[in-house]
Structure 1
Amino acid sequence: MLRVTIHLELHDGIALTTLDRGLDTATCAELVLKLEEADAAGARAVVLTGTGDTFSPGVDLARLTEGGARYAEEFLPTLSDALLAVFGFPHPVVAAVNGTALGAGLVLAAACDHRVAADGDGRLGVPDLLVGVPFPLAALEILRCAYGTTPLPALAYSGATLTVADALARGLVDEVVPAGELATRAHEMAARLATLPTEAFAHTKAQLRQPYHERIAENRVADDAHVEHLWGTESTLAAVKSAVDNG
């Protein structure tokens, strides 16, 4: 029996979607299904959040070290599909960033329409390149859409993990609230966005994101193959294992 790693609750037309582990093949596939379930249930908006003090730690690197190159080949398309399911969801999606959001976890937040972060000790960033695992094209285009092209090199090349205050200053999140107010504020924002005319919102969102979807559609196949190769090399897997072993 598969372990449920994403929980979905519908309240007043707002679907609260909660992740409780890092991103692996099963979790990514489940996220796609949960969003389809929310849409089918008539959700007018989605709040995406994590558990405890972690929004999402990103890719489950331990699973990558266990599965090696074959797992990377299986996982990466599923990761892109999950990120694009959030990015392309026709209704408003609000990220309630309850703590740390790293790598693909930050991309998940970037894929949302609005990002509310809890004040606290959480860290945000994309340190993946430090261990030799470049993002698939879908992830980079989502970051480009949310944050613009100019900030991306510094964000990706440095691998820096920022405090919540620094993340706000650099535009990685839209607002910061006390941790105890996060759920309420995210629900309020989702409810406000949900009052916009549904079809008009969906069309406007699609218009805003069309150039990024087009670049992904045009280049994803070739780029994904190269990324899969880079993830599966012996040197990359050794670097990932070292990072996992060193915590």
Structure 2
Amino acid sequence: MSTPSDLIVERNGPVMRVTFNRPDSLNAFTPQMLTTATQAVEAAGDDRDVRVVVVTGAGRAFSSGADLSARADPEYQGGPATFKGVNGLVRALRTVPKPVVAAVNGPAAGGGCSVSLAADFIVARESAYFLLAFANVGLMPDGGATALVPAAIGRVRATRMAMLAERIPAPLAVEWGLITQAVPDDSLDSCVDLLTTRLAKGPTAAYAQTKHAFSAATISQLDQAFAVETAGQSLLTGTADFAEGLAAFTQKRTPDFSGN
């Protein structure tokens, strides 16, 4: 269940900071968290005094993505809303006319990975990793990852991430071109502060047009990716493999997929 404190939105001069704040669940997303985060990012776009947006997580994770523990509850109804919410937040991060920095303080998995990669600058602790974990529960990547990841690292590496569900450590993610920078764990905050200070003093309108042009050139099919992912996930959530993947996750065991 989401509470008002599940998302923290703070202003420090020209910098708006959005923090996922469910550390006990590795900042697993709830629909309300995502809706509130999207509203905050959209508001930053309309506020001339906000010149940089930072997205991060509390505790030891950026975000583990959808809350699969909650989904195992037979009365859980938040699946489609969470899926829609991730798409909305990713779209907001890509279209807001301000630079967005993802301060990745720990694992960015599933939809959390998609959200982190929607930023313009992705700065991560060296101990952090990026994981498209969907195949582990019989699903496909979503949150626009099918557009964002190949645009950054190519189809072959994207396929490796998605189908093998491998953890990509932050230093390797830099080498691949998936993220901007990996920094010593205790330097994340200071490195992000330096970057946001520089961006906040820069030509905001020029940054906005540059961002728009890069998006048009590299991820112009993002909305199409959302539609394809929505159709695919709708199909996959009705499969035996998804039921087995969810059961295995809940029971903390390796899934035995049947291919159905």
For this structure pair, what is the TM-score category when the shorter chain's length is used for normalisation?
Answer: 0.7 to 0.9
Corresponding residue number in structure 2 for 1:11? 12
- SS of equivalent to 1:4: helix
Contact 2:146-2:225 at 8 Å conserved across structures: no
Whether 1:113 and 2:120 are equivalent positions in the alignment is yes
Q: CA deviation at 1:38?
A: 3.0
Structure 1 unpaired stretches of 5+ = none
Determine what percentage of the aligned residue pairs are the same residue. Answer: 23
Corresponding residue number in structure 1 for 2:233? 227
Corresponding residue number in structure 1 for 2:24? none
Whether 1:216 and 2:222 are equivalent positions in the alignment is yes
Corresponding residue number in structure 1 for 2:96? 89
Q: Aligned pair in 2 of structure 1 residues 119, 73: CA closer, same or farther (>3 Å)?
A: closer
**Could you tell me how far apart the structure 2 residues matched to 1:228 and 1:71 are?**
14
Amino acid paired to 2:7: I
Q: CA deviation at 1:170?
A: 2.7
Corresponding residue number in structure 1 for 2:184? 178
CA offset digits 1:115-139 (Å, max 9, x no partner): 111133x332212112211123723
- SS of equivalent to 1:160: coil
Counterparts in 2 of 1:67-78, with a 5 A limit?
Answer: 71-78=78-85
CA offset digits 1:135-166 (Å, max 9, x no partner): 23723112233333342111111111133333
Q: Aligned pair in 2 of structure 1 residues 144, 191: CA closer, same or farther (>3 Å)?
A: farther
**Could you tell me how far apart the structure 2 residues matched to 1:245 and 1:192 are?**
47
Whether 1:129 and 2:130 are equivalent positions in the alignment is no
Corresponding residue number in structure 2 for 1:144? 150
**Could you tell me how far apart the structure 2 residues matched to 1:222 and 1:180 are?**
40
Whether 1:35 and 2:41 are equivalent positions in the alignment is yes
Structure 2 unpaired stretches of 5+ = 22-26, 254-260
Greater RCO between the two (CA within 8 Å, min separation 6)? 1
Contact 1:72-1:231 at 8 Å conserved across structures: no
Coordinate RMSD, CA, aligned: 2.5
Q: Aligned pair in 2 of structure 1 residues 189, 235: CA closer, same or farther (>3 Å)?
A: same
Amino acid paired to 1:58: G
CA offset digits 1:159-191 (Å, max 9, x no partner): 111333333333333222222221121122122
Contact 2:56-2:62 at 8 Å conserved across structures: yes
Q: Aligned pair in 2 of structure 1 residues 67, 31: CA closer, same or farther (>3 Å)?
A: farther
- SS of equivalent to 1:112: coil
Amino acid paired to 2:188: L
Contact 1:137-1:224 at 8 Å conserved across structures: no
- Normalized against structure 2, the TM-score is what? 0.83
- SS of equivalent to 2:124: strand
Corresponding residue number in structure 1 for 2:248? 242
Corresponding residue number in structure 2 for 1:46? 53
Greater displacement, 233-242 / 46-55: 233-242
Corresponding residue number in structure 1 for 2:200? 194
**Could you tell me how far apart the structure 2 residues matched to 1:63 and 1:92 are?**
33
**Could you tell me how far apart the structure 2 residues matched to 1:9 and 1:86 are?**
17
- Normalized against structure 1, the TM-score is what? 0.87
Amino acid paired to 2:84: P
Q: CA deviation at 1:234?
A: 4.4
Query: Which of residues 104, 110, 120 is equivalent to 1:103?
Result: 110
- SS of equivalent to 2:119: coil
**Could you tell me how far apart the structure 1 residues matched to 2:118 and 2:100 are?**
8
Greater displacement, 227-236 / 153-162: 227-236
Q: CA deviation at 1:213?
A: 5.3
